[in-house]
Amino acid sequence: MTDGVGTAARDKGWEPASIYVLGFLYVIATFNYLDRLLLGLALPSIKQDMQVSDTALGLVTGFAFSLSYSLLGAPIAWAADRFNRRNIIAAGFAFWSTMTVLTGMAATIWQLALARFLMGAGESTGMAPSTSMISDVFGPQRRQMAMSFFGTAGVVSSLTFFPIVGAIGQTYGWRTMFFVAGVPGVLLALIFRLSVREPVRGARDATIEQASPTLSETARFLIGSRSFIFLTLGATFIGAALFADAAWAATFLHRVHGMDIRETAFVIGPIRGGVGAIGILLIGILIDRLSRRDIRMRARISAIACIITGPFEVLFLLADPTWAWMLGWVVSGFFILAYWGPVFTMGISVVRVPMRALATAIMLIVSTLAGQFIGPLVVGALNDALAPHYGELAIRYSMLPGAVSAVIAGICFWLAGESLEADTARANAAA
């Protein structure tokens, strides 16, 4: 069924109203990443205060968050494919911001785990409904760049917020960081609810399907997509590397290079965040141009970026001279997040319009449940296991599996590209 919207109209997107929606979703995403990743910055201080093992910290950082995020991700995405996405995002934003404040009030590891669990529940309302909204305010020709821009939210969050919260944590303690991060989110959630309209589903696409598929229909469709399966596997492996870095990079810099929380925040924020944002945008532009002739380039360039990440992560972990480990940190940071926009754009392209939020959620759920659970926990457990031999330097070797995981992710993305054209045609034919 055609939507009655011409190709030119469908390809529009960089209009004031669309830019405002994308901009506000971007701001929400920066808080999503800040609230999620702030615990990693605070881990050295929390370990000192609560006197717990690295394994316990890995469980709290990864499993407590990813369990609730994954359990609620699919039901929320199912609701987002049927109900008002703006309201879902606004309610979730207010809730997870409140949980961020409560994280700063935790007195025991169990209270910290509960706050983290509830934060994951709130944050499950963020990414899938947001990417679904973006797909409805930008046409197919503009969507890749919109998604690539949206994908910089995590690194820009680190770039802008980490130096601020790091200075606050150094001066006023780690708990204050969570108060400062959480309180503004509640107010912004209200403004978002009042100022953003829910976009019409599929209005920017060539077709609109009125009937919403059931969960079983969606599952069968996704299982039949070879590209979607490899994209999800790739997102899981690179997610394990990302979440391990997010949880333990601050602890690594503290233990191996003797940095305090303010110095660590600067290295993770302006340095890693800055080059990461540049990498996402430049590689996104490259993919946007090359994929006009061959859509497989979206997958292939994403694959190459992940494969390059691996050896430079090793350099970061094992090098002693400052210039050497900093080179590894910068180059891996440039490439490690370049996959985000292209991969989720491809994930949307190989499914039918009413399946978009749920398909995105499944990618996020699998990559988060496996990646965020396995990545931080493996590092924490290896820290404890290797500490008798290497002491605090054990973390150098505990984080090496993340480099291997990035390379495996690249292989998965390359394989996804081999069937991308056929699976995209299959999704369009189902309309």
Q: Is the pLDDT of residue 285 over 90?
A: no
More confident residue, 219 or 299: 299
Please state the domain count of the chain. 1
**Is 1 inside a domain boundary?**
no
Which domain range does residue 334 map to?
A: 7-205+212-429
398: pLDDT confidence band, cut at 50, 70 and 90?
very high
pLDDT score for 8: 42
210: pLDDT confidence band, cut at 50, 70 and 90?
very low
**Is 324 inside a domain boundary?**
yes
Dihedral of CA atoms 221, 222, 227, 232 in degrees, nearest 10, equals 180
Are the beta carbons of 44 and 247 closer than 8 angstroms?
no
How much is the average pLDDT of 232-259? 90
Q: Is the pLDDT of residue 317 over 90?
A: yes
pLDDT digits (tens, 9 = 90+) for 103-133: 999 989 999 999 999 998 888 888 878 888 8
How many other CB atoms are found less than 10 A from the CB of residue 214?
10
When computed from its CA atoms, the radius of gyration of the chain, rounded to whole angstroms, is 21
Q: What is the largest CA-CA distance in the chain?
A: 68
> Is the whole model's pTM more than 0.85, yes or no?
no
pLDDT score for 179: 94
pLDDT digits (tens, 9 = 90+) for 147-195: 778 877 877 787 788 888 888 988 898 899 999 999 999 999 999 999 9
Q: For residues 80-115, b (16+ Cβ closer than 10 Å) or e, as one string?
A: bbeeebbbbbbebbbbbbbbbbbbbebeebeebbbb
**Is 223 inside a domain boundary?**
yes
Are the beta carbons of 208 and 123 closer than 8 angstroms?
no
pLDDT digits (tens, 9 = 90+) for 6-17: 444 445 556 788
Q: What percent of the chain has pLDDT over 70?
A: 93
Q: What percent of the chain has pLDDT over 90?
A: 34
**Is 39 inside a domain boundary?**
yes
| Domain CATH number, residue 172 | 1.20.1250.20
Of 92-101, 355-364, 376-385, the range with the lowest mean pLDDT is: 355-364
**Is 2 inside a domain boundary?**
no
| Closest among 125, 99, 102 to 193, alpha carbons compared | 125
206: pLDDT confidence band, cut at 50, 70 and 90?
low
**Is 411 inside a domain boundary?**
yes
Are the beta carbons of 341 and 147 closer than 8 angstroms?
yes
409: pLDDT confidence band, cut at 50, 70 and 90?
very high
pLDDT score for 129: 86
pLDDT score for 408: 96
Look-up of token digits 């290797």: 386
Of 68-77, 218-227, 311-320, 382-391, the range with the lowest mean pLDDT is: 68-77
Highest mean pLDDT among 1-10, 93-102, 207-216, 372-381: 93-102
**Is 226 inside a domain boundary?**
yes
**Is 360 inside a domain boundary?**
yes
